[in-house]
Amino acid sequence: MPKLVTWMNNQRVGELTKLTNGAHTFKYAPEWLANRYARPLSLSLPLQRGNITSDAVFNFFDNLLPDSPIVRDRIVKRYHAKSRQPFDLLSEIGRDSVGVVTLLPEDETVTRPIMVWEKLTEARLEEVLTAYKADIPLGMIREEILMGSSEALRDRYDFMKFQVFQWLIGSTDGHAKNFSVFIQAGGSYRLTPFYDIISAFPVLGGAGIHISDLKLAMGLNASKGRKTEIDKIYPRHFLATAKALKFPEVQMHEILSDFARMIPAALDNVKASLPADFPENVLTAIETNVLRLHGRLSREYGIK
């Protein structure tokens, strides 16, 4: 049966195997399990002896690949991969997969790559970036989110605070894959800094998108179903979500009231730090819509 050796920081971690029926299995290497710094590839693949045969194997390695079916088809065509299955695609491009993990055939070893790059023009960069579109966002993560973190209280607080921030700035790309964790020795973990943060407010108006079209990637709890539309979200929806996630109500009130109190001054500080040639239309779009949503917080918490 074909195997791919999984490496991390030039250390052999284990083997990914594709069975004759197409199923994927993974086994940690004995030397990795004996390493004092050993950590699981994923929280869904805890350190253990023997073959791991759960769906988590397929899901983890599938997640190392581009989301877009179109991009995967291009990989198949370009590298003559046997199929779009994770094992077959990683057999061709596993040397340069997402993150620190590298997958190689059994007869190859990790070598230091030769750094080669191409300087892109703006036109070429735009051409490359347009090939990568955000996929349909995922739903809110399971209850008791981040309770297993080594810094659970801080991580849960920061996560909930960030949900409010994304709403205020009109950030629509905060799906589950844009949140990551540091996996530490022994399998403990903690939340990484937030990333991929951008406001959609500058594209509103004219022939562009209407604010009613903007949606959060991860919906909030509501009395009926879930709320994703940014313009239909109010403080009560964050409180309902906090309750569903077993996040303390008093802390959720604290987060909301802090934003109500701090947003005007924060906007002033940002404006003062911008270069003189910063596009006025971008600034105006963000400031106007942030203050409009901020009004819902200030009315709720009695802050002018």
**Would residue 173 show up in a list of annotated catalytic residues for this protein?**
yes
Residue 196 belongs to domain with CATH number = 1.10.1070
Domain shared by 111 and 167, yes or no: no
Q: How many residues does the chain have?
A: 304
Determine the distance from the C-alpha atom of residue 75 to the mean position of all C-alpha atoms in its chain, rounded to a whole number.
23
CA–CA separation, 211 vs 285, rounded Å?
Answer: 11
Instruction: Give me the catalytic one of 67, 88, 158, 173.
Output: 173
Task: Show the domain range for 61.
Answer: 3-131
Residues of the chain with pLDDT under 70: 109-115, 126-145, 207, 304
| Whether 163 and 264 share a structural domain | yes
Tell me whether residue 137 is in a domain: no
Residue range 69-105, pLDDT digits in tens? 888 888 898 888 888 889 999 998 888 877 789 999 8
Residue 139's pLDDT is: 35
The answer on 287 and 147 residing in a single domain is yes
Q: Which residue has the tokens 């921030």?
A: 165
Q: Does the predicted TM-score (pTM) go above 0.75?
A: no
Domain-terminating residue out of 73, 100, 131 = 131
In the prediction, which pLDDT does 134 show? 30
Residue 56: the pLDDT is 93
- Per the listing, tokens 């769906």 go with 55
Predicted pLDDT at 120: 80
Q: Which of 131, 166, 198 is the last residue of a domain?
A: 131
